[in-house]
Structure 1
Amino acid sequence: MPELSMCNELLAAEGRGLAEQCAVARALGYMGLELAPGTLGPAPDRLSPAETAAIARTVADHGLVVTGLHWLLAPFPRLSITAPGVAEETRDTLLRLVDLCAALGGRVMVHGSPGQRVPPAGEAPADTFARVADFFRPVAAHAAAAGLTYCIEPLSRAETPFINRVAEGAALAGAVESPAFRTMIDISAAGAAEAEPVAELIRRWLPGGMIGHVQANDSNRGAPGTGADPFGAIVRALRDCGWAAPIAVEPFTTVIDAPVTLAIGAATLRSAWEAAA
């Protein structure tokens, strides 16, 4: 089955440092970490080369890799991809985060950050969409030069009014017009935002090549296996469509604690993949 990457923010929220996060990931059979920049320090976009190298070395010393970054703008609450007044500062921050991801050996950038993509009051949706597409073109070009895939993450309307469905993410990617800029499927968000079951969504969108990443979580915001989502059907769809890139396990709530939660998520995905054979 595809290798599993572990999103690190739940462990960081429990006060576990990077070395302990890596030890947990290794013990649970994850191949790498998908890092939330806010867990790396108060100014993750301005880490020195020595600090960046130390992070990469800690991960590598545990036999793991950094697969990418997510929650990109969470450490920067005043920034926004939709607010014209901070567009330049926001873009510059994202360009530096692309450089950080590349320096750490990551391959994918996941742009969720719902608090930093609220459209201005009174602006027509088409105008917001066109302006954001313009905003992302230099970011996509920078990601392409670094060999990264930059994904806009569709999120539910409970989180943001901008880019809620995979079709909307794909439309934005089409407007940006870069092979490095794509959309993705977050299983929890898709379960809340899409009209069709997630397994059918996967079968419809994966073959076209517009999906650059998959994050696995339950509609209850926990790990796969902690709720009622049909991961047997979801994983079968991923398998049938030939998904081979890492799958990131990204729970937001815990069962007992973060390591137990991440163990449940990994075990659920692995058993579902085996059952789909």
Structure 2
Amino acid sequence: MKYALCNETFGDLPFEESFATTRRLGYTGIEIAPFTLLPGATVTDVRDVPATRRAEVKRIAEDAGLEVVGLHWLLAKTEGFYLTSPDPAVQRATAEYLKELAELCGQLGGKVMVLGSPQQRNLLPGVGYEQAEEIAAGVLREAMPACGDNQVTIALEPLGPAEGDFMLTAESGVGLATMVDSPWCKLHLDVKAMASEPKPIAEIIRENAAWTAHFHANDPNLLGPGMGEVEFAPIFAALKETDYQGWVSVEVFKYEPSPEEIARQSIDYMQRIEAGA
């Protein structure tokens, strides 16, 4: 397995320090939330990240011995973008921003962009699910040429019902990717989200192996793998059985007892599980 850590885990810690710690703990990849590139900004717009800063972040990762996996939290802390808005102007703006993100991702050396951002995709008043799906597919199709130019895959992230009402299952994620109909639009699987589905997580992994471009390891309790009730042995067995070649990124939402301790416990647990898979 290739293990990565989502960089917002370390909050406002300088990248030089957080990246070095990430590598020291055994991770070889770093996954970047765009809003961390503009610390202190209330609203994030990656067009405000200068070329010098992009090159600097790539260099910091390389110096630490890390590969930039890609981006996630794509639309978090932004304004004016919405994946399922019926407003044509918002649709155009969102598609253009996804193009900008693809360029940023490629410049950092990343290959995947995880599209979760539930607050910018949930159903708006008067918009039904099928209409929202058509809108989202149209927005994503507009961004596909830029993804291809930058060799970046958008990985659609299903999320559980606690976070919203659009794209709640792996099946619905594949359905949307099928509508987009591009080799640059695939599926992302997240353990916390899959735990909300009625099917066993290992079964979801096997059923969607051909579509899966990226994977997040975590637990429904918002902590890291092995820090809750989800057993990862069947999960890793399914990833191994389906010959998953992508990254396994640790993404958590609670940072107790500390970010470093969570990162350490998570990779130690996953490596033990992998050794026994």
State the TM bucket, normalised to the shorter chain. over 0.9
The equivalent residue for 2:142 is 138
Shift in Å at residue 77 of structure 1?
4.2
Asked if 1 retains the 8 angstrom alpha-carbon contact of 2:85 and 2:135, the reply is no
Q: Distance in 2 between matches of 1:168 and 1:133?
A: 12
State whether residues 78 and 116 of structure 1, in contact with CA within 8 Å, keep that contact through their aligned partners in structure 2.
no
The CA deviation string for residues 176-211 of structure 1, in whole angstroms up to 9 with x for no partner, is 00011011110111112x1111111112211xx111
What do the CA deviations read for 1:142-182 (whole angstroms, capped 9, x no partner)?
Answer: 11221111111000111111100000000000000001101
Q: 8 Å contact 2:225–2:232 — kept in the other structure?
A: yes
Give the secondary-structure state (helix, strand or coil) at the position aligned to 2:195. Answer: helix
The runs of at least 4 consecutive aligned structure 1 residues that moved more than 3 Å come to none
- Provide the rounded CA distance (Å) in 2 between the counterparts of 1:90 and 1:205: 27
TM-score, reference length from structure 1: 0.94
Which residue does the alignment assign to 2:10?
Answer: 11
- The answer to whether the 8 A contact 1:141-1:178 is kept is no
Cα separation, 1, equivalents of 2:79 and 2:254: 22
The one-letter amino acid paired with 2:245 is A
Task: Report the TM-score, using the length of structure 2 for normalisation.
Answer: 0.94
Partner of 2:182: 178
- Asked whether the equivalents of residues 33 and 74 of structure 2 are also in contact (C-alpha less than 8 Å), the reply is yes
Which residue in the other structure is 1:22 paired with?
19
Equivalent of 1:89 in 89, 93, 96: 93
Residues 33-182 of structure 1: pairs in structure 2 closer than 5 A: 33-41=30-38, 42=41, 43-85=45-87, 86-182=90-186
State the alpha-carbon separation in 2 of the partners of residues 89 and 125 from structure 1. Answer: 21
Checking the alignment, whether the CA contact within 8 Å between 1:187 and 1:216 is kept in structure 2 is: yes
- The residue identity in structure 2 corresponding to 1:240 is E
- 2:198 corresponds to which letter in structure 1? A
Quote the Cα distance in structure 1 between the aligned partners of 2:36 and 2:267. Answer: 22
* Corresponding pairs, count: 270
How far is 1:108 from its partner?
Answer: 0.4
Q: Deviations over 1:90-149 (max 9, x none)?
A: 221111111000000001000000000122212222111111111110212211221111
2:3 counterpart letter in structure 1: L
Tell me the equivalent position of 1:204: 207
Query: What whole-Å deviation, never above 9, does each CA across 1:46-76 have from its counterpart, x for those lacking one?
Result: 3111111111111111111111000000020
- Report if aligned partners of 2:73, 2:114 keep a CA contact under 8 Å in 1: yes
What is the DSSP-based 3-state SS (H/G/I as helix, E as strand, rest coil) of the residue aligned with 1:138? helix
Q: Which amino acid aligns with 1:215?
A: H
Q: Percent identity?
A: 32
For structure 2, the residue ranges without an aligned partner over 5 or more in a row are none
Computed over aligned residues only, the root mean square deviation of the Cα atoms, in angstroms, reads 1.2
Contact 1:37 1:75 in 2 (8 A): no
Distance of 1:77 and 1:269 partners within structure 2: 37
Amino acid at match of 2:147: A
**Which ranges of structure 1 fall in alignment gaps of 5 or more residues?**
none
Find the residue that maps to 1:271 and give its secondary structure. Answer: helix
In structure 2, what is the Cα distance between the partners aligned to 1:95 and 1:186? 24
**More divergent stretch after superposition (125-134 vs 168-177):** 125-134
Residues 1:238 and 1:26: Cα distance change in structure 2 (over 3 Å): same
